[in-house]
Structure 1
Amino acid sequence: MTTRALVTFWNLHRIPILMLLLSMGFYAAFAYDLQRPDSVKLLALYAALFFLCYKLIQFEKWNFRFLVAAGVLFRLVFLLAIPNLSQDFYRFLWDGGLMAEGFNPYLLTPDQWMEQATVPVSGAAELHEGMGGLSARNFSNYPPVNQYFFGLARWLGGESITGAVVGLRLLVVLADLGILYFGRRLLRHLNQAPHLIFWFFLNPLVIVEFTGNLHFEGVMLFFFILAVFLTIRYGWAWGAVPYALSIGVKLMPLMLLPLFLPLLGLRRATGFYALTAAALAALCYPLYFPEFPDHYLQTLRLWFSNFEFNAGIYNLAEHLAVTRGAKPWEFIETYGSYVPWVTAATALLVCLHPKMREGRSWFTGALAVVTVYYLASAVVHPWYLTFPLLLSLFTRMRYMILWSALVILSYTAYSGPTVSESTAVLLIEYIAVIGFLLYEIVKYRKDFVSFLNFSATKSDE
């Protein structure tokens, strides 16, 4: 590019360029100069980054190359940073170290491994201490495909923890780029504005939680969006294996499996389910041993029946139950057993609607199912919301963008020596999100009345 061209580009884009540089500075502070208990600094940085994200998309939404470059640069800022908002990556590296050395990560808990004469994990003591007592005394709850990625990252990074972190980070960034590519193509295929994908790619929640904190929901979402794109564009046989890979990274796509029945029809859906199940079985087989189901389900049951964090409806239900004499530890176990059934019932009701045969309406139904799950769930970590955020971009609903901005408030629970949630913070988050959701339902009431009208004729579709 000539000097004159550079000057022209600067004159046309100087404000977005300055916002890009300012955002990089804020991300650097997030990555290298922030401690989780410092809630004021965390919230201030995040608010500034979210505002700059909005302005960048507003100014440059048709400048694809500029926004892609911005997203990549923001992620590169984190390249050498050790995650500072989550300790989960220590368990990722522990499991990955076992995989790299040829050991099954589901065989023993980290505590049990530490009791052995030798531990086949580089930096075992540091990783064991870093993951915390809860993770150390329980079997791994990460599905097999996730374990393969952990092992790959540990193999790429060698014995260095920093090197392995970089390996994990590169995998996550590549997944984000894949979501950008296939998400944009899918938006175009569904006759929607392709720039909407940047509300995911440039969203500070996505960048901080995936690239910064190394959560693998991004890898799950890459396989998910690839599977849906291939299924809609080329047929079920192309989408089944990527969908199995998505489930193999995180289990969340399981809740949307019923929705493929109306999208594909009975015969093709049967083929899709059969191929997905076969692929999942093949992916799980290398790590299977007789005690595997018991070890894995033990931790999974613990997760659904013992923990609560940033919950909306659950906290209200718990409060009402406790005032009537219920014991909190008994209530959460009972409540947790109902959430999967409520989600499954929602999915089955949604999939009965004739409009679910359309790609765009399919995403509306999928968003409804996932939203019901997270509104009802007892545990809503910030990175969980990236799933409904991505789904929402293929619909007219934008409440998930607001939720992705407000969910960072949940980190204020870590501002003291113990995890302590503020009722006021939870009320601000959930009243705002549910209020905006209701507003959008009223705003698009004609669409909702049409969608809820189960007697819609084929011509209405």
Structure 2
Amino acid sequence: MLLNPSFLKLSKTPFLLAIASVFFYITFAYNLVRTDYIKLIILYTALFISFYKLITLLKNNTKALTYFAFAFRAVFILTIPNLSQDFYRFIWDGRMILEGINPYLFTVESFITKNEFPVAQTQELYAGMGTLNASHFTNYPPINQICFTIAGLFADKSILGSAIVMRLLIIAADFGTLHFGKKLLNRLNLHAHNIFWYILNPFIIIELTGNLHFEGVMIFFLVWSLYLLHIKKWQWAAIVLALSISVKLIPLIFLPLFFQWFIKRNTASNLEQTNVNSSFTTGKNLIKSIKKLIGFYGIIGITTLLLFTPFYSSQFISNYSKTVGLWFQHFEFNASIYYIAREIGYLFRGYNEIAIIGKITPLLVILFVLTITFFRKNKTTIELITAMLLALSFYYFTATTVHPWYVATLLILSIFTKYKFPLVWSFVIILSYLAYINLNKADKSENLWVIALEYIIVYGVFIWEVFLKKADAIKR
């Protein structure tokens, strides 16, 4: 048992670290304002050090790590998020659905300007989410909307009550990620404790459990899907991957990467089993593999479309595509390569660089994904997940907007690979909350020195792991 006398006697240091972490999390959850930057950095750093020490000391005691991980999450149960306003929009969407109103067809502002109050606490929710969020159509996919609706079902007149319900859903998803993550690690002959670099990470606990970002639910379905794919239940893997896409659209970027898994891996596997190398057998196996790949994509497409069907209308398509487009051509936050390209563009044109660069970067991402799809070996599960990690990293490196919680997907993928730069990023990402810490208080723009510090560290580790470390190994 975790708290029996022998545990206390033999494991004093990790127990004290856990107690300290609980104290730090309580302070973070109940006594921290986002603009208190020094306190934010000190608490986050202390939590990260404790987290790192706990895993190194207890890597052979996954039961204790599990208890600690969910004890830390329990601290946030009764809190209102203090680093993000997005949850107010989540609550709004869920309550709109319960009122029989399609949330994709109306902006919050459209009701406010007409002095209409379609849901309970309309004015409080509007004030909480802010005018920018309220002026845009919702972009959260249907499984996400189901989570919002469940929150509204159990707490239709309480903002805190809705937050608690959503938090419990996210914590439940973390249990699922822990379960299938450990199973997949075991199948891949990797250390089971690797999953705790995600589950116990203060970045994950604060951003997902604390700030109510549903990347945690998307990641649960993604890891489950990868596990099913690894054990060759590809039909179920396709359905579960569609559920992941229907929480957040980001897994769409991974779809081309499955090509080699089905074509080259399955063809080679079938040849080994038949022990025949004739052109006829090769062609037959290739056709069989192509049919599986088409079936995999077909199941994903059909399942995703079916989930969107209850919200379908011609206006929905227009509104949704317009809202998704905003992330490429209107919003700017915590970017890296984009900010450099923007500054270069200013030298020649001087304004509205996002309208131009925002059209180019998606094409670059597509080109990069297709390149590693066809020219990089992605036949094993680890190779496939590594390709996913590199593809998503490239997307974030070139994106115009990189919110802190985006890094969660990189982090979960990295635990199945040899790369640690997402773990480093999960620590330095806290700097993005300091982006507006300008000496000139009248200046509301991002402090690019802070952003530069974040990315110098991230790119430094990335380049060393992906290029320099590999080159050094070849020389040896």
TM-score surpassing 0.5? yes
Correspondence 1:195 to 2:219: no
Letter in 2 for 1:175: A
Correspondence 1:326 to 2:352: no
Q: Is the 8 A contact 2:435 2:451 kept in 1?
A: no
Gaps of at least 5 residues in structure 2 are: 264-289
SS of residue paired to 2:332 = coil
Correspondence 1:270 to 2:268: no
Alpha-carbon offset, residue 100 of structure 1:
2.0
Q: Which residue of 1 aligns with 2:242?
A: 244
The size of the alignment, in residue pairs, is 445
Letter in 2 for 1:438: I
Q: Which residue of 1 aligns with 2:432?
A: 410
Tell me the distance in 2 between the aligned counterparts of 1:445 and 1:233: 33
Q: Is the 8 A contact 1:410 1:421 kept in 2?
A: no
Which deviates more, 65-74 or 232-241? Answer: 232-241
Alpha-carbon offset, residue 419 of structure 1:
4.4
Offset from partner CA, 1:97-123 (integer Å, 9 cap, x none): 111222210121111123456433111
Q: Is the 8 A contact 1:141 1:300 kept in 2?
A: yes
Alpha-carbon offset, residue 392 of structure 1:
1.0
Offset from partner CA, 1:238-289 (integer Å, 9 cap, x none): 1111111111111100000001111122221110100010001110001112
Tell me the distance in 2 between the aligned counterparts of 1:346 and 1:268: 24
Q: Is the 8 A contact 2:435 2:448 kept in 1?
A: no
Q: Which residue of 2 aligns with 1:453?
A: none
Q: Which residue of 1 aligns with 2:398?
A: 376
Correspondence 1:435 to 2:460: yes
Q: Is the 8 A contact 2:436 2:447 kept in 1?
A: no
1:179-190 matches, cutoff 5 A: 179-190=177-188
Letter in 2 for 1:237: Q
2:12 to 5, 14, 36: 14
Which deviates more, 149-158 or 369-378? Answer: 149-158
Offset from partner CA, 1:17-40 (integer Å, 9 cap, x none): 110011011111111101111111
Tell me the distance in 1 between the aligned counterparts of 2:408 and 2:314: 34
Q: Which residue of 2 aligns with 1:367?
A: 389
Letter in 2 for 1:393: I
Aligned CA distance change for structure 1 residues 259 and 123 (closer, same or farther; 3 Å): same
Q: Which residue of 1 aligns with 2:446?
A: 421
Letter in 2 for 1:83: P
Q: Is the 8 A contact 1:184 1:194 kept in 2?
A: yes
Q: Is the 8 A contact 1:34 1:84 kept in 2?
A: yes
1:10-409 matches, cutoff 5 A: 10-116=8-114, 118-265=116-263, 266-322=290-346, 324-329=347-352, 331-353=353-375, 355-409=377-431
Aligned CA distance change for structure 1 residues 447 and 186 (closer, same or farther; 3 Å): farther
Gaps of at least 5 residues in structure 1 are: 450-461
TM-score (norm: length of structure 2):
0.90
Tell me the distance in 1 between the aligned counterparts of 2:338 and 2:461: 20
Offset from partner CA, 1:305-326 (integer Å, 9 cap, x none): 011111111111111121x232
Tell me the distance in 1 between the aligned counterparts of 2:442 and 2:117: 31
Letter in 1 for 2:148: F
Tell me the distance in 1 between the aligned counterparts of 2:315 and 2:21: 48
Alpha-carbon offset, residue 62 of structure 1:
1.2
- Percent identical among aligned pairs is 41
TM-score (norm: length of structure 1):
0.93
Letter in 2 for 1:286: P
Offset from partner CA, 1:28-57 (integer Å, 9 cap, x none): 111110111111110110000001000000
SS of residue paired to 1:234 = coil
Tell me the distance in 2 between the aligned counterparts of 1:291 and 1:304: 21
Tell me the distance in 1 between the aligned counterparts of 2:72 and 2:181: 20
Q: Is the 8 A contact 1:236 1:272 kept in 2?
A: yes
Alpha-carbon offset, residue 193 of structure 1:
1.0
Letter in 2 for 1:334: I
CA RMSD of aligned residues (A): 1.8
